[in-house]
Structure 1
């Protein structure tokens, strides 16, 4: 797969206003030709000027193998661009950014995308999963070249008698109702401790903690216990846990730390 690291190393050659010279940073050219575009690898000659003669040029793909993606994209969302390129059925796909810069991918490889598993629960709204999706669509994780698989458990399927809080729209909850003592409660370690403090004994508990549900790696999961936050190994799987109410920046920082640890050990 050829996927330049940044649009600054790609030039667009629609005509030749200064002859056969290229910008000194250019490594590739998107060259307009009859019938479409070709992708060229170029090596500028040594020198001091911004515009250089071309020492060598090699065609990477001709117009029959090149597709111009029709819609503007977020160029920094590299994972999304790889997925889009895989859908074009062409060797090379050229993308234009919202700001009119250009980049291309040749021979996209799905194996280059690392799948991160997201563990969350609903209702109410799955805060972690929703925030990750929003950040991903904005290109925040673009340079990581990752994709996400979401594992969002609907806690209503536990058919518990009592649920954690009213925010989920449940009829009986720990925070609003007096319990008899034998109810099956959907909860976690914190719920168990609250019940023990309030009633003096344990209740039958159905564990709904996303962090305890981890079965794949690398992962990101949320948990209401602040002391469990951070990059770690759970159930033999490496990943990161964020607090229940983590901010978008905290989630992004945690995921970057996790992927750095995953790839660099």
Structure 2
């Protein structure tokens, strides 16, 4: 796949760049690609190599056509040119028959293109979270961020893995807090918790249980995404934990991930995702 890293490296020409090159015409120093709209209706997509320079204009030393004619189409609608993941998905939809290149116009009127689009260059990140509520906060917040386009430049898509704690409802089940609205007792509000209960919660829940009921025996199902046996990451991931000291980059089951605090804001989540993507880029 060829997808310019920034539209500032894409030049536009209404003459054939090959002919201009033969005439030794100068070119803008940042240009790496040219889109040539020719008078006969043909469109050429060209890669450009230039001489190094300290000025705004330089000389091209190599031009190579990577797509032209029926291989190239213009996408009809305008989109956020920074939302790379969305443009890749749209280009995949548009590439039918001989078409292998799609030109996009951004809402700011800048131009870019995607040549031979593929999802192989897009990173899949697994969201691991607990339900209820449904959807859980982390998944809900990330979807809002995706819809806003703020993550679009990162070349990522999200998959979701949820741990459903509703499977443990019952009279002698103890949950950390009443926000879950599940059928059971709540560690934060109930005093009539019984000896021999089953605690469905994390390490902090266990500590609180033992502080409140030091003489009770109990069993625990650890539902912390960092500790539970119910889910193991199968790819890069993001999850939550109620302990601030455990937030940040982590590796579980051989996969890099990032942990945000249980009450993380969308700003925190964006920062965490960018941190994870930076780590993954280092590993490439």
Query: Which TM-score applies when normalising by structure 1?
Result: 0.84
CA contact (8 A) 1:119 1:211 kept: no
User: Which residue pairs with 1:154 in the alignment?
Assistant: 164
- SS of the aligned residue for 2:36 comes to strand
SS of equivalent residue, structure 2 residue 94: coil
The change in CA–CA distance for 1:64 and 1:123 in structure 2 (over 3 A counts) is same
In the alignment, does 2:20 pair up with 1:6?
Answer: no
Q: 1:50 & 1:26 partners in 2: Cα distance?
A: 10
Q: How does 1:88-107 map to 2 (within 5 A)?
A: 88-89=94-95, 90-107=99-116
* Farther off after superposition, 220-229 or 84-93: 84-93
Q: Are the counterparts in 1 of residues 196 and 217 from structure 2 also a CA contact under 8 Å?
A: no
Question: 1:192·1:203 contact (CA, 8 Å) conserved in 2?
Answer: no
Counterparts of 2:167 and 2:182 in 1: how far apart (Å)?
13
The corresponding residue for 1:211 is 226
- Which one of the candidate residues 168, 181, 191 is aligned to 2:195? 181
- The alpha carbon displacement at 1:56 in A equals 5.1
Corresponding residue number in structure 2 for 1:242: 260
Deviation of residue 42 (structure 1)?
4.0
Q: 1:157 to 1:81 in 2, by over 3 A?
A: farther
Q: Work out whether residues 195 and 202 of structure 1, in 8 Å CA contact, stay in contact via their aligned partners in 2.
A: no
Q: Does the residue aligned with 2:197 lie in a helix, a strand or coil?
A: coil
- Aligned-pair distance for 1:91? 0.8
Partner of 1:165: 177
**Structure 2 residue aligned with 1:119:** 128
| CA distance in 2 between partners of 1:95 and 1:146 (Å) | 19
Helix, strand or coil at the partner of 2:12 = strand
Q: What CA distance in whole angstroms lies between the structure 2 residues aligned with 1:251 and 1:238? A: 16
In 1, Cα distance between equivalents of 2:54 and 2:233: 55
Farther off after superposition, 113-122 or 174-183: 174-183
1:72 aligned residue (62, 72, 78)? 78
**Structure 1 CA distance, aligned partners of 2:160 and 2:282?**
24
SS for the counterpart of 2:66 is strand
In the TM superposition, what is the alpha-carbon distance from 1:14 to its structure 2 partner?
A: 4.6
CA contact (8 A) 1:158 1:206 kept: no
Give 5+ residue unaligned stretches, structure 1: none
Check if 1:129 corresponds to 2:139. Answer: yes
Aligned length: 263
Displacement after TM superposition at 1:7 (Å): 0.4
1:217 counterpart SS class:
coil
Report if the CA contact (8 A) 1:166-1:175 is conserved. Answer: yes
* C-alpha contact (below 8 Å) 2:234/2:253 kept by paired residues: no
Aligned 8 A contact 1:129 1:152 in 2: no
Which residue does 1:224 correspond to in 2?
Answer: 242
Aligned CA distance change for structure 1 residues 170 and 145 (closer, same or farther; 3 Å): same
Aligned counterparts of 1:238 and 1:53: Cα–Cα separation in 2: 43
Say whether the 8 Å CA contact 1:187–1:205 is kept in structure 2: yes
Cα distance in 2 for partners of 1:8, 1:69 equals: 19
- 1:166 deviates by 2.4
- Deviation at residue 92 of structure 1 after TM alignment: 0.7
Residue-by-residue CA offset, 1:208-235 (whole Å, 9 max, x unaligned): 2222333223221111112211212234
- Three-state SS of the structure 2 residue aligned to 1:135 is helix
